[in-house]
Structure 1
Amino acid sequence: MTWQHLELNMAGAAEHMDVVYLDYNATAPLRPEALEATLDALRSVGNASSVHQAGRGAASRVDLARQRLARLLGCAPGELVFTSGATEANNLALRAVHSGGGGAIVTTVVEHPAVLEAARAITTGGRGRLIELPVNRDGAIELGPLEAACQRGPVSIVSAMLANNETGVLTDLTPVIKLTREAGALVHTDATQYVGRLPLDLSELDVDLLSLSAHKFGGPQGVGALFVRRGVPFPHRPLLLGGGQERGWRAGTLNVPGIAGLGAAAEAVRVRLHDEAARVAGLRDALEAGLTSRLPGCRINGIKSPRLPGVTSVTFPDIPADAVLAAMPDVAASDGSACASGAPSPSHVLLAMGLSREDADSTVRFSLGYATTEHDIERALDTVVRTVREVRRLMGTSAEP
């Protein structure tokens, strides 16, 4: 891809490109501010751990990014640990807290694999208990099993995502935090899809740990952060050893260009978040209205729950999602989590919400973002409707539910 094409994409002029990009939950286009900050750092030399002038210049970029991210999150800069992304942050949070038998890890069945697989690995071989909480048909956590788990105890940590990566369903963490506090456990949230999409203030949201990735809100790929609330009894168990970077939490030379880009994206989000969220929600609603009115039988998953403004999970009964996606290469969407692409089994999230395997395999996720335009939605609607009708015709399936 040429720089000219990249600049057009970042400016939101998707109509000048071949593909309508509706896969922001996989990764968002790099914001212009993030590109500029990343390139500026790449042109410079210096290790942020070095004490000479070049090193101090690199360290100043890291400090600025930490301050910018802290302003977006409503926390102190010293409460942020830079990582390679939310996957590392999730693993660090769970492994550091869990003492291997000292208490259960409690999470939900709809978490991202970066939480579920880490929790399962940590608790295998008798090294502790893992409790996976169910959700209802709208994707909301069932609080009864959480209350029972906390009462049985002991519990070391409860991890519940703020926004689901496949359906966009939001989690009301208030009752989760209350029950967890009563059990004397820590609260972690995977906020990967939430940060940069809706306002977040960690001075009000009383979680102990929070994970995020820059590339979900327009920063570079390969960089993220873990929020660790000051004063939390967080055992010092880093995943990576061999250096004292990030106050001993994460060894290795800091990714200064990536961190600088993260900070610039965070600042751009902070000043535009409310307007962007409202605009994107309107585009999402227009997409859903067009699909449900023009394609009999298609269903929106999680629509009765509060959702992220730019995410819709749409089931087209009786036709495989991969067939729909393959037949419309000019629309970039997904049939589930990007981190589970190629998996032979259907979405664990949709199955947990009560969908059949057939319906789960017939579901497409569209995710919009800051650069999505009305023209994108018009093009996507025409393409999706035409494609679904054609696939239905070729497969001989009915257009009715």
Structure 2
Amino acid sequence: MGRTGVDPLIYLDYNATAPVRPEALAATTKALTAVGNASSVHAAGRDAALAVNQARERVAALLACSPNELIFTSGATEANNLALRSAARPGQSLVISAVEHPAVTEAAVAVADAAGSKVHTVGVHRDGTLRLEELEEALATSPALVSIMAANNETGVLSDLDLVVKIAHEAGALVHSDATQLVGRLPIDLRRLQLDLLSLSGHKFGAPQGVGILYVRRGTMPAIRPLVHGGGHERGRRPGTLNVPGIVGLGAAAEAAARCLDQEAARIRSLRDRFETAVMTALPGTRRNGHPDLRLPGVASLTFDGLPADAMLAAMPAIAASEGSACAAGAMEPSRVLLAMGLSRDEAECTIRFSLGYATTADDIDSAIRHVIDAARRVHAALYPNTTTTASGTARGQEGPRRHDA
């Protein structure tokens, strides 16, 4: 992963998309050279169908569920829409959290409007964890569905899905989780967890972009209502010719992730902690966002005091990181996730998300530490010229402007 004439790119944006795993690339490439529609009855079609079924089994093994509980989609956005549309009931509300991905928040509003119902939003604490007392209050409205993400895409904070499922089921509501950031990074056991629906995108853990899954727990879910019409694919629940190469790549990525999930998570967590400690030690004004322990192993959301994220990113072109959700790139408003956690607008605008993954190395992290610290000092010098900076990064002298206006 390099660029001509400049420092090699250090990729720390796995929450946006992970590099395609070698196993997935090989499997996808091989599938691309084969011919055959998985719905055709001739030999080529049967071979394609067999490849799809093998991929379904591999994803089911990663999720600890039955293969026939999985519906292939184009990604989690489609899966989220399919789940919420199918679970909605006229007059019954939907319950979501204040930090959901737009693929859930916008879908929930659209579905509720169509059903003549409401969306209840549950807040979070300063550390990003769910306000369970607000969830219990929202459940008093007898909602059809509760949709709570498994892990936040900006902070990595984990939801207590066991408790959410217990509380929601006791109130008679179905439970869906957008698990896009969790799957392939931490273990999940759907036989034990008892979620009714779950969405994922393969590209978050090394599959090609453009393929995902909707899990539907057998025996507890109303009939899936397709978003589009025009065929009996996926047992009539998701019409359209199957993306065989993408599905095969998803299966290969799932198998590769499952092979060393615990060891990989421990290694990545160690690298992330090393990165955070070094940066926050060198730049004392830097703060970490989200619960220190209840989060994904590879996510570091850091607020650089008085240093705008866009200026920081421009000052370290060798680092691939993000101001927040990749789906919000280009938006003029600060992260609503961070605002929901109680950060000010200024703080949110000075926050960068670094996300590590399976291919991140110790050398990557050591180099990233140097780039980040150097960028922070150069941005500080440019924005606050009347101050001096100590070796540790703290400023002395006249205070410069605190707010950055684009």
TM-score by structure 2 length?
A: 0.93
Q: What does 1:2-401 correspond to in 2, within 5 Å?
A: 18-101=8-91, 103-124=92-113, 127-151=116-140, 153-396=141-384, 400=394
Query: For 1:283, what is the secondary structure of its paired residue?
Result: helix
Provide closer, same or farther for how the CA distance between residues 270 and 126 of structure 1 changes in structure 2, counting only shifts above 3 A. Answer: closer
C-alpha distance in 2, partners of 1:288/1:297? 13
CA displacement 1:194-241 (0-9 Å, x = unmatched): 000001111111100000000000000000000000002323311121
Does the 8 Å contact 1:140/1:305 carry over to 2?
no
Instruction: Report if aligned partners of 2:88, 2:115 keep a CA contact under 8 Å in 1.
Output: no
- The 8 Å contact of residues 7 and 318 in structure 2, kept in 1 or not, is answered as no
Q: Which amino acid aligns with 1:107?
A: I
Amino acid at match of 2:193: L
Query: Equivalent residue of 1:40, what SS?
Result: helix
> Number of residue pairs matched?
387
Q: Distance in 1 between matches of 2:221 and 2:240?
A: 24
**Alpha-carbon distance change, 211 to 17 in structure 1, aligned in 2, over 3 angstroms:** farther
Output the amino acid matched with 1:81. I
CA shift, 1:304, in A, is 3.4
Unaligned runs of 5+ in 2: 388-392, 396-406
Deviations 1:93-144 (A, max 9, x none): 001110232x110000000000001111122377111001000000000011
Q: Following the alignment from structure 1 to structure 2, what is the Cα–Cα distance between the partners of residues 214 and 311?
A: 18
In structure 2, distance between residues paired with 1:268 and 1:178: 32
| Contact 1:104/1:154, CA 8 A, preserved across alignment | yes
Q: 1:126 to 1:213 in 2, by over 3 A?
A: closer
CA–CA distance in structure 1, aligned partners of residues 108 and 298 of structure 2: 29
Q: Secondary structure at the match of 1:371?
A: coil
Q: CA deviation at 1:343?
A: 0.9
Report the counterpart of residue 402 of structure 2 in structure 1. none
Given that 1:319 and 1:362 are in contact with CA atoms closer than 8 Å, whether structure 2 keeps it comes out as: yes
| 259 and 17 in structure 1: CA distance in 2 versus 1, 3 angstrom threshold | farther
- Cα distance in 1 for partners of 2:86, 2:259 equals 34
Contact kept in structure 2, 1:83 and 1:226, CA below 8 Å: yes
* Counterpart contact for 2:128–2:290, Cα < 8 Å: yes
Tell me if the contact between 2:122 and 2:138 (Cα under 8 Å) persists in the aligned partners: no
Within 1, Cα distance between the matches of 2:334 and 2:103?
17
2:89, 2:115 within 8 Å by CA — same for their partners in 1?
no
> Shift in Å at residue 296 of structure 1?
1.7
Separation in structure 2 between the aligned mates of residue 250 and residue 17 of structure 1, nearest angstrom: 44
Determine the C-alpha separation between the residues in 2 that align with 1:392 and 1:159. Answer: 41
Q: State how far apart, in whole Å, the 1-side matches of 2:208 and 2:371 are.
A: 30
Alpha carbons of structure 1 residues 126 and 371: separation in structure 2 relative to 1, 3 Å: closer
Distance 1:56 1:99 in 2: 38
Alpha-carbon RMSD across the aligned residues, in angstroms, is 1.6
Query: What SS class does the counterpart of residue 190 from structure 2 fall into?
Result: coil
Contact kept in structure 1, 2:286 and 2:303, CA below 8 Å? yes
Given that 2:179 and 2:199 are in contact with CA atoms closer than 8 Å, whether structure 1 keeps it comes out as yes
Structure 1, residues 268-324: CA drift from partner, whole Å, max 9, x if none?
Answer: 011111110000000000000001100120000014351100001000011110110
The amino acid of 1:276's aligned partner reads E
Higher mean alpha-carbon deviation, 390-399 vs 80-89, is at 390-399
> What letter is aligned with 1:350?
L
Distance across 2 between alignment mates of 1:179 and 1:53? 49
Contact 1:82 1:224 in 2 (8 A): yes
Residue 145 of structure 1, CA deviation: 1.1
8 Å Cα contact 1:333-1:364 kept in structure 2: yes
Structure 2 counterpart of 1:173, one-letter code: L
Please give the alpha-carbon distance, in whole angstroms, between the structure 2 residues aligned to 1:93 and 1:145. 23
Cα deviation 1:349-372 (Å, max 9, x = unaligned):
000000000000000000000000
Residue 18 of structure 1, CA deviation: 1.4
Distance, in Å, in 1 between the alignment partners of 2:359 and 2:162 is 32
Alpha-carbon offset, residue 175 of structure 1:
1.9
Deviation at 1:166, TM superposition (A): 0.2
Whether the 8 Å CA contact 1:138–1:305 is kept in 2: the answer is no
State whether residues 191 and 211 of structure 1, in contact with CA within 8 Å, keep that contact through their aligned partners in structure 2: yes
